[in-house]
Amino acid sequence: SSMAGLRVRSLLVTGANRGIGLGLVQHFLKMPNPPQWVFAGCRDPKGQRAKELQNLASKHPNLVIVPLEVASPASINTAATTVREHVGGSGLNLLINNAGIAKITLLENETPENMTETYTTNTVGPLLMGQVRPSPKPGCPGGASWLQLPYPCPSCEICTHSLAPPFPSHHHPCPVSPQAALNMLNKCQSLAYKEHGIFCVALHPGWVQTDMGSSAGHTPPVTVDDSVKGMLKVLSSLSEKDTGTFLDWEGKVVPW
């Protein structure tokens, strides 16, 4: 299978309690060679919305549920401490910035509050997640972000987001404006972190059958399972030449 070619020692997925985030966690745990550690970040790990994660954690000792609010630097630092307690100085292989919110409002009714909240979670969150500094490890190059691996294994930071809403997007600026900014952030991070052996890719998961994807009352064409399998196949084929790119779940370059 395509997933068999993906070797990940440790990873963190934000927004992991439902939808694409939960699907990613499930698929990593099912791999022939599962990661040593899978960190699942969500706002309320003990709450009703994290029930499926809790069930998975009871069966998989390598799954660690981490309280994480990506818009909060204090929450991110606490999560980073938890991650370090498990992985030591070796850092994370893979960071998947999946957490996001969507507020569907018509252009003429849009508010600063909606725009600011969405931008903070969907764009500033991945910025803050990428800024975390690891504990220094002797002989390990780099130090930009908690993605730290001895050469020649590149670390990878992925932002997943969708630019395929089920409506004319120019009428609904709140979900799509922060995503355009996220693309620019991905480009900036790819250039800034390249010298540390970290590469950054933005992945478009497709229009997926999740609570968020179905929020406009239409049934999206792509299942979570197909989207996640596709993205994992893309992940398994990534190399340093792909850093800074925006690819979809089928591996095609998305123009922006």
Q: For residue 161, is pLDDT > 90?
A: no
- Note whether residue 171 is domain-resident: yes
Q: For residue 252, is pLDDT > 90?
A: yes
- Note whether residue 229 is domain-resident: yes
Pairwise pLDDT comparison (194 vs 59), residue with the higher score: 59
Q: 70: exposed, middle or buried (C-beta count within 10 Å: 0-12, 13-18, 19+)?
A: buried
CB atoms within 10 A of CB 112: 7
CATH number at residue 194: 3.40.50.720
Contact assessment for residue 160 and residue 20, using Cβ atoms and an 8 Å cutoff: yes
pLDDT of 7: 79
- Note whether residue 165 is domain-resident: yes
Mean pLDDT of 28-35: 93
Q: What is the pTM of this model?
A: 0.86
- Note whether residue 37 is domain-resident: yes
Out of 32-46, 65-79, 188-202, 227-241, pick the least confident. 188-202
Q: What share of the chain in percent tops pLDDT 90?
A: 39
- Note whether residue 145 is domain-resident: no
Radius of gyration over every alpha carbon of the chain, rounded to an integer in angstroms: 17
- Note whether residue 63 is domain-resident: yes
Tally of structural domains, the chain: 1
Contact assessment for residue 160 and residue 208, using Cβ atoms and an 8 Å cutoff: no
Phi/psi of residue 81, nearest 5 degrees: -65, -45
Query: pLDDT tens for residues 135-159?
Result: 444 444 444 344 543 333 344 555 5
CB atoms within 10 A of CB 177: 17
Out of 71-75, 167-171, 205-209, 248-252, pick the least confident. 167-171
- The C-alpha atoms of residue 11 and residue 94 are separated, in whole angstroms, by 5
Q: How many CA atoms lie within 13 A of 59 on its CB side?
A: 9
Beta-bridge mates of residue 22:
none
pLDDT of 156: 56
DSSP per position, 200-225: EEEEE--SBSSTTTTTTS---SB-HH
Range of the domain at 163: 10-104+114-129+152-248
- The C-alpha atoms of residue 210 and residue 229 are separated, in whole angstroms, by 15
- Note whether residue 146 is domain-resident: no
- Note whether residue 143 is domain-resident: no
Beta-bridge mates of residue 198:
155
Query: pLDDT tens for residues 112-123?
Result: 999 999 999 989
pLDDT band at residue 124 using 50, 70 and 90 as cut-offs: very high
Helices (H), 61-219: 73-87, 112-119, 125-131, 173-193
Out of 109-113, 168-172, 207-211, pick the least confident. 168-172
